[in-house]
Structure 1
Amino acid sequence: MTYPVRLRLLPIARCLFDEPIVVKIDGLRSKQVVTIRARTTDERGMLFSSSAAYRADAGGEIDLSRDPSIGGSYTGVEPMGLLWSMKPQILHKDFRKTRALDPVMVNFSLHEEEGRMLAEATNERFLMRDGVSRVPVQEGNINGVLFTPPGEGPFPAVLDLYTSMSEKRACLLANKGFVTLAVPVLSGRPQQIHLDHFADAVHFLQQLPKVSSKGVGIVSRSKAGDIALSLATFVRGVKAVVWINGCSANAGLPLYYKNKQLLPALMFDRKKLFSTNSGAVISKYAMHDPLNTESRDSLVPIERACGSFLFVASEDDLAWDSKAYMENMVERLTNNGKENFESVCYPGAGHCLEPPYEPFCSSALNIFTGMPALWGGEPRAHAAAEVHLWRKIQEFLRTHLSCEAAQTKPKMLNQKDDQDDI
């Protein structure tokens, strides 16, 4: 008896964006070679796709959690390889997923070597768990989106900073039990940045009735990283900061607070942008050295911070030398007798570390240079780093934003209790 070919997505075809699935196929001929394709579009309508060849076992079955790809977008046993290996139809495009309400739809299809389709299934990857609320916040200087877990709480609070607006990570954190406010660092083309706007966001979170304590966590990447460092240093109530591939100095634009300049900008030299054959540039060595005498005033004095830090650096970051920035911060804290930090370094990972299971971004527009940039990283190593980091972020935030942690006041020397009075 001949059975129909089936392509199944397990445990179910509908899952959270950051959850893995298992792709299984049965009904094939013994040792039959087939190709599995994955396709999706981002919120701009940009097509991303991947494919991998597999050989069925003696029983005509393929299990991507067990069986190796023998060719295509990747090789080897990679259960989620069809997702992270997807590439854009047009060069230098990132996977744009900034809105939380719309799920990502991924079509998986199975094809014979001649190309005829044998089966297909659709994976609906949604960002908002049932019961999570999404509320736009436009209050004073705050322009963001608040995500709140279901239930009465109390919950730990997190300020999620992206360089440009994105709801993705904030919503996924709310699924895990964090009240999370997503706020962009840059809007339009500012000539300077005002820390007051982000301090207001911290204070807003502190006053929410469902928030468990007065301590707020911050998650940040790239340019948002130095804003997070500055909040931890100058604004009271920041208890935990996740800094991912950022800068140790105030990068690009002068930083103001309470109507005066707080930190000058660490600038970059466009002459040190390295052009590649792809049309994208490498900007890793274009930033001025923050340790040089003329740039040291731009360093964020994190030695003054009361909270805890999780520093994360990718060794193959081509946007800037995030590993060197991280090593400098670790050295400064250590020399000042501080133990309020953890550091993680990922070999083979690039600049754009995101929540797991989205297409690897090798290059895209850099809003500071106005040019396509190579972000660095090897896709397989980068994807593995994202899985590990996503768990690490949640563990770090839970540890330092618990009620017990909030009740323990850090000891600081020669510093007022109220950091707002600088």
Structure 2
Amino acid sequence: MDTCFSRSTKTNLVKKTAVVSEEMTSQIRLRLLPCAKCLFDEPVQVKVAGLRSRQVVTMRARSTDEKGVVFSSSATYKANGNGEVDLERDPSLSGSYIGVEPMGLLWSMSADTLHKLFQKNRSLNPHVVKFSVHELEGEGRMLAEATNERFLIGDGVSRVPVKEGSFHGVLFTPPGEGPFPAVLDLCTFMSEKRACLLANKGFVVLAVSVYNDKLNNVKEMHLDYFKEAVDFLQQQPKVGNKGLGIISRSKAGDVALSLAAFVPGVEAVVWINGCSANAITPLYYKKSKILSPLLIDLSKAIPTDSGAIIGKYCTNNPLAEENQATLVPIEKAKGHFLFVASEDDLNWDSKAFMDQMVERLKRHGKENFESVCYPRAGHLLEPPYGPHCRSSLHGIVGKPVMWGGEPRSHAAAEVHLWKNIQEFLRSHLSCEATKTKAKL
């Protein structure tokens, strides 16, 4: 751009140029490495350079979810002698978390109002996070900022809404010829996040929700509906020829167990913080009732000062004599199980339910399972690096509930579990090419 100045201002030009040059050399930079664009379940390294030696600053993160709710976090950091802050190396001194937590600004984000779950269920739009660094003093003037776009769906992954027969869902298919292992992602309520993130890893994934209707209208559940989804998934041209896996959490967990027990072709089930029995509604298969409902007694809910309830002990005991007909006969399953329980699950006693299933399988001489416990994690175990939710409205109960989990431990559990899930599914699902070759 051309610059015009009068004779009277010319004498100050040298001084002004010197000042600008000095400011440019000490420019503060906020960098996201290796790239400001990444997948949702990938870590980023947050680094700041150009600060004064030992300068204390506030780091912030801010994002808006699909419902328009703003989530944010902040942490105080002290630069090193070179004026640099590196979240992989340096500890937070105060704020939303304390200590060395490279992804702490992400998992510690929370809403200003109580009982808000971060809603990121649609796969086509990225999770956009604004990182910024601010002066600690005064009004906290912003010194630098950077935008992190965290994509759910990777390059080349196809997303196809499916309405086949009586069921509907969303199918995610990786790029390439395949064959790929197949996974049915059973969500209690529809979410595409976990399914498309798994598809990024080389799985053909069909996301199907347990509840599609208003809950007051759901008087019974039919396993046939989910078997249709299993059959549809197995018939996909890029799917390998041996069985499929199921990933589930909460109420979807007992549906997954029932599919493994009653429907052929289920080779691997990931059960996360679910129930050992058929919860809430009777289950039918081929027009016959196969499992009675294990009921919930909300009078046993524990109130909290926040207004949310603790529902951990509301579920009736599935081992009681009157509830024997609710227990899923998992000993009939031919496939393998990965049982995952959070010991601080405040929604229900997942650890006790897991122990019951392990004991049942052992009693029947079965060794087709592995189990994982996370001591300070809560109910809502998700793919990693999303905001931790302490409490939110429960879709079935209709009230805010406490989910449990110490945020730092819960975040670490999500990182560990996500890797474990992929390894488990790969180890038990075949990707043989014979099915594809037979069609040529």
So what's the TM-score if we normalise by structure 1? Answer: 0.95
Deviation at 1:402, TM superposition (A): 2.2
One-letter amino acid of the counterpart of residue 262, structure 2: F
Deviation of the 1:208 alpha carbon: 0.9
Match of 1:133 in 2: 158
Please, which runs of 5 or more residues in structure 2 have no aligned partner?
A: 1-21, 436-440
1:262 equivalenced with 2:290 (yes/no): yes
The aligned residue for residue 86 of structure 1 is: 109
Q: Which runs of 4+ in 1 moved over 3 A?
A: none
* Corresponding residue of 2:251: 223
Query: Which residue matches 1:418?
Result: none
- Residue 199 of structure 2 is matched in structure 1 by 174
Is 1:36 the counterpart of 2:64? The answer is no
Residue 369 (structure 1) aligned with residue 397 (structure 2) = yes
Deviations 1:190-210 (A, max 9, x none): 111111110111111111111
Q: Which residue of 2 aligns with 1:118?
A: 143
Measure, in 2, the Cα distance between the counterparts of 1:311 and 1:210. Answer: 28
Instruction: Report the secondary structure of 1:78's partner residue.
Output: coil
Match in the other structure for 1:76: 99
The Cα offsets for residues 208-253 of structure 1, whole Å up to 9 and x where unpaired, read as 1110123010000000000000000000110000000000000011
Partner in structure 2 of residue 152 of structure 1: 177
Partner of 1:417: none
Query: 1:411 maps to what in 2?
Result: none
How far apart are the structure 1 equivalents of 2:112 and 2:158?
Answer: 34
Partner deviation per Cα, 1:139-179 (whole Å, 9 max, x = no partner): 10221000000011000000001100000000000000000
1:193-204 superposed matches below 5 A: 193-204=221-232
Aligned partner of 2:319 among 283, 291, 294: 291
Which of 174, 180, 184 is the aligned partner of 2:209?
A: 184
Q: Does 1:383 align with 2:411?
A: yes
Among 90, 95, 111, the alignment partner of 1:67 is 90
Q: 1:12 aligns with which of 35, 52, 63?
A: 35
String of CA shifts for 1:10-68, please: whole Å, max 9, x gaps: 00100000000000000000000000100001111111000000000000000000000
Distance in 1, Cα, partners of 2:129 & 2:353? 37
Q: Distance in 2 between matches of 1:8 and 1:48?
A: 21
Question: Are 1:53 and 2:76 counterparts?
Answer: yes
2: CA distance, partners of 1:102 / 1:379: 26
Pairwise mapping of residues 315-330 of structure 1 onto structure 2 (< 5 A)? 315-330=343-358
Distance 1:22 1:402 in 2: 35
Distance (whole Å) between structure 2 residues aligned to residue 98 and residue 84 of structure 1:
17
Aligned-residue offset at 1:89? 2.3
2: distance between equivalents of 1:351 and 1:117? 36
Q: 1:298-344: CA deviations, max 9, x gaps?
A: 00000111000000000000000000000000001011110100000
- Alignment match, 2:48: 25
**Which amino acid counterpart does residue 122 of structure 2 have in structure 1?**
R
Q: How far apart are the structure 2 equivalents of 1:39 and 1:324?
A: 37
How many Å separate the matches in 1 of 2:126 and 2:298? 39
DSSP-derived class of the 1:310 partner = strand
The separation in 2 between residues aligned to 1:26 and 1:206, in whole angstroms, is: 52
Q: Which moved more, 1:345-354 or 1:361-370?
A: 361-370
Amino acid at match of 2:360: R
Q: In 2, distance between residues paired with 1:258 and 1:402?
A: 29
Counting only pairs closer than 5 Å after superposition, residues 268-283 of structure 1 correspond to structure 2 as 268-283=296-311
- Partners of 1:143 and 1:354 lie apart in 2 by 23
**Secondary structure at 1:320's aligned position in 2?**
coil
More helix by share: 2
**CA deviation profile, 1:61-108 (whole Å, cap 9, x unmatched):** 000000000000001000000000001122101011110001010000
Which structure has the larger Rg over C-alpha atoms?
2
For the residue of structure 1 that corresponds to 2:241, the secondary structure is strand
- Equivalent residue for 1:101, pick from 94, 103, 124: 124
C-alpha deviation, 1:403, in angstroms: 3.8
Report the residue type matching 2:411 in the other structure. A
Over aligned residues, Cα RMSD in angstroms? 1.3
Question: In the alignment, residue 401 of structure 2 is paired with which amino acid?
Answer: A
* 1:294 match: secondary structure: helix
Report the secondary structure of 1:152's partner residue.
Answer: coil
**Counterpart of 2:17?**
none
| 3-state DSSP of counterpart to 2:181 | strand
Number of aligned pairs?
A: 407
- Tell me if structure 1 keeps the 8 A contact 2:242–2:429: no
Q: Give the whole-Å Cα distance in 2 for the aligned partners of 1:175 and 1:86.
A: 25
